[in-house]
């Protein structure tokens, strides 16, 4: 398995629901997506590309781990506050339209 194939699944419970936060390592960062019962839990895919944060790692944060943890905390906060949770799904001709709270 190459570094870009690395996947970690982090369990997270809030408001009585058991989520699985899936973290995929990509070449220069991470993609994070929360799931509930095997389906995306909200309309967001969270990502960070460390090539964009090189100066910030040196000036503001201690490490890439700090940036990753900040992103992971954003995912958890959005789940806690219901942001991006699909409110309604409609099929319009050939398109699936998902209306989300943002």
Distances from the Cα of 79 to the Cαs of 51, 69, 71, 89, in angstroms? 27, 15, 13, 19
Residue 91: what pLDDT? 59
Residue 55: what pLDDT? 58
Name which of 10-19, 20-29, 63-72, 73-82 the model is least confident about: 63-72
The ranges assigned to domains in the chain are 3-100
Most confident region among 2-11, 34-43, 88-97 by mean pLDDT? 34-43
Strand partners, 15: none
Most confident region among 26-30, 40-44, 61-65 by mean pLDDT? 40-44
Average pLDDT value over all residues in the chain: 77
Residue 90 pLDDT exceeds 70: no
Is this prediction's pTM over 0.85?
no
d(CA 77, CA 95): 30
**3-state class percentages of the chain: helix first, strand second, coil last, to nearest 5:** 30, 45, 25
């Amino acid at each position: 398995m190459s570094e870009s194939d690395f996947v970690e699944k982090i369990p997270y419970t809030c408001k009585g629901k058991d989520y699985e936060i899936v973290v995929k390592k990509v070449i220069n960062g991470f993609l994070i997506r929360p799931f509930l019962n095997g389906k995306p839990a909200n309309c967001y895919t969270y990502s960070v590309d460390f090539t964009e944060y090189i100066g910030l790692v040196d000036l503001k944060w201690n490490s890439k781990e700090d940036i990753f943890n900040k992103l992971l905390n954003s995912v958890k906060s959005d789940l806690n506050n219901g942001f991006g949770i699909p409110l309604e799904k409609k099929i319009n001709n050939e398109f699936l339209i998902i209306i989300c709270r943002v």
